[in-house]
Amino acid sequence: MTGVGIDLLEIDRMQAALDRRPRLAERLFTPGEREAAAARARPAQHLAARFCAKEAVVKALKLESWDPHEIEVVGGGDGPPAIRVSGKVEALITQRGLTVEVSLTHSRDTAGAVALALPAAARGAAC
Ligand SMILES: CC(C)(COP(=O)(O)OP(=O)(O)OC[C@H]1O[C@@H](n2cnc3c(N)ncnc32)[C@H](O)[C@@H]1OP(=O)(O)O)[C@@H](O)C(=O)NCCC(=O)NCCS
């Protein structure tokens, strides 16, 4: 079973939510995601793209409930990002024989991501 997912988010909305709720970043993002974003000039831009990536993966896998820490964006910045799954999401994609690929984008105002769920044998073939 393959799947595709897409999500868009205004960067200002992410910034406002983070400002309003100081614990939100911890709830949504792994330590690695938070550290990578904090090292960039405009962290909310990269966090917004990573939140979109998580939502895109949720759509691609048709998950009904999910823990944001179990879908982690690694890499990105100067190179292609990848998804690292853990916990229930990892168990589910292993059981289904899938792998997940993601691509991120951001403009001044908006961040977005698209995700593909593919047969595990196709890993690295998508671009
Ligand atoms: C990679 C590239 C397409 C990004 O395009 P862009 O319009 O500048 O940026 P976008 O907003 O669309 O995408 C940014 C995201 O792309 C991702 N990205 C960066 N490099 C990437 C690559 N080589 N492949 C796939 N995705 C990449 C990152 O996740 C980044 O988001 P992040 O900084 O939050 O992690 C563009 O820089 C490019 O064409 N580069 C040519 C290849 C190149 O320069 N390679 C560098 C080493 S030689």
pLDDT in tens, 24-70: 999 999 999 999 999 999 999 999 999 999 999 999 999 999 999 99
Residue nearest to atom 9 of ligand 1 (CA): 105
CA 83 – CA 103 distance, rounded (Å): 10
CA nearest 52: which of 2, 108, 114?
A: 114
Q: Tell me which DSSP letter residue 65 carries.
A: S
- Whether 124 shows a pLDDT value over 80: the answer reads no
What is the DSSP annotation of 15-29? HHHHHH-TTHHHHHS
For residue 127, the model assigns a pLDDT of 47
Among 45, 51, 83, 104, which is best to mutate for testing ligand 1, by the most ligand atoms less than 8 A from CB?
Answer: 104
Considering Cα of 51, then 71, then 83, then 98, what sign does the dihedral take? negative
Q: Tell me which DSSP letter residue 117 carries.
A: E
Going by pLDDT thresholds of 50, 70 and 90, the confidence category of residue 125 is low
Instruction: Tell me, in angstroms, the distance from the centre of ligand 1 to residue 81's CA.
Output: 9
> SS3 for 4?
strand
Residue nearest to atom 23 of ligand 1 (CA): 79
pLDDT (tens digit, 9 = 90+) per residue, 92-113? Answer: 999 999 999 999 999 999 999 9
- Going along the chain from its start, the domains and CATH numbers come out as 3-122 (3.90.470.20)
Going by pLDDT thresholds of 50, 70 and 90, the confidence category of residue 123 is confident
Angle of helix 11-20 versus helix 43-61 axis, rounded to 10: 100
Instruction: Tell me, in angstroms, the distance from the centre of ligand 1 to residue 76's CA.
Output: 8
pLDDT (tens digit, 9 = 90+) per residue, 58-74? Answer: 999 999 999 999 999 99
